[in-house]
Amino acid sequence: MNSNPTISNTTSLPTTCIAAGLRWSAFNLNTDHFRNGDIIPVAESAEDWEAIGQMGEPACCWYRNDRQIGAAYGRLYNWFALNDSRGLAPEGWRIPMLSDWERLALELGGFPLAGRRLKSKSGWNMMGNGNNQSGFSAMPGGGRGVFGSFLDLGDYGNWWAANEASPNDACFVYLTFIDSSMIIRKDGFKSSGFSVRCVQPV
C-alpha cells in the first residue's frame, strides 16, 4: 500500500503525472492546516461532522479516524475546507477545477478509459485495480456522508473539484472498482468528505 505522507501547506508537494499543462500532486492531501497556518477543525464523531457541515464550516478527518488508513489514503475534507479563503492547497498550488479533471480524462483516452489508467495497481476491491499508466496512483479512499458515516473504502475513490454546482452542492469526480471509467458528478453535498489532489502549472 502506498505511503501518503502528511504534507505541510508550506512545503512543495511530491508530483506525479503531467497532463494538459498541469502537474498533479502524487498523493491525496493529508494536512490539518490551512496555508496560513490556521488549524482545520478535525471532526471525529458523526455528530461533530454533521454539525460543522450544517454550519458551512471547514472540517477534515481520516477515514474511521484511523491514522494508518490516513497514511495510505490521506484525509477527507468537506467542500468548505476547499473554499476557505485561508487556502487549503500549498503555496503555488491550487485545487483542480472540473475542467482540469476533464482535460486529464481526455488526455488519458477519454472518460471510459481514464479510470483504469488513473487507478493504482493494488488496493481496489474485487480485482478492480488499474494499470496506473498515468502515474496518478489513484487509491480507493472512500468518503464520509453528511451525517458522519464512513463509506466505500476499497470500492470508490472520490475527489473534489473547486467548482460550486448550487448553494448546497459542489462538483467531484469518482472512480470505482466496478469499471474503468472516470465519472463526473455535480451533486456532491458540500458537507460530504472526499479526497483532495492539487495542481500547478508546468
Number of domains observed in the structure of the chain: 1
Q: What is the pLDDT of residues 153-179, one digit of tens each?
A: 999 999 999 999 999 999 999 999 998
On whether residue 5 sits in a domain, the answer given is no
E strands present in the chain = 15-19, 22-25, 60-61, 76-77, 143-144, 150-151, 156-164, 169-176, 183-189, 199-201
pTM: 0.91
pLDDT in the model for residue 173: 96
On whether residue 6 sits in a domain, the answer given is no
pLDDT in the model for residue 11: 46
On whether residue 26 sits in a domain, the answer given is yes
On whether residue 180 sits in a domain, the answer given is yes
Percent of the chain with pLDDT over 70: 92
Q: Is residue 109 within 8 Å of residue 41, measured between CB atoms?
A: no
On whether residue 25 sits in a domain, the answer given is yes
Which residue range is the domain that position 76 belongs to? 15-201
On whether residue 10 sits in a domain, the answer given is no
Q: What is the pLDDT of residues 21-53, one digit of tens each?
A: 899 998 899 999 999 999 999 999 999 999 999
On whether residue 1 sits in a domain, the answer given is no
Q: Is residue 180 within 8 Å of residue 131, measured between CB atoms?
A: no
On whether residue 23 sits in a domain, the answer given is yes
Residue 9 confidence (pLDDT) above 80: no
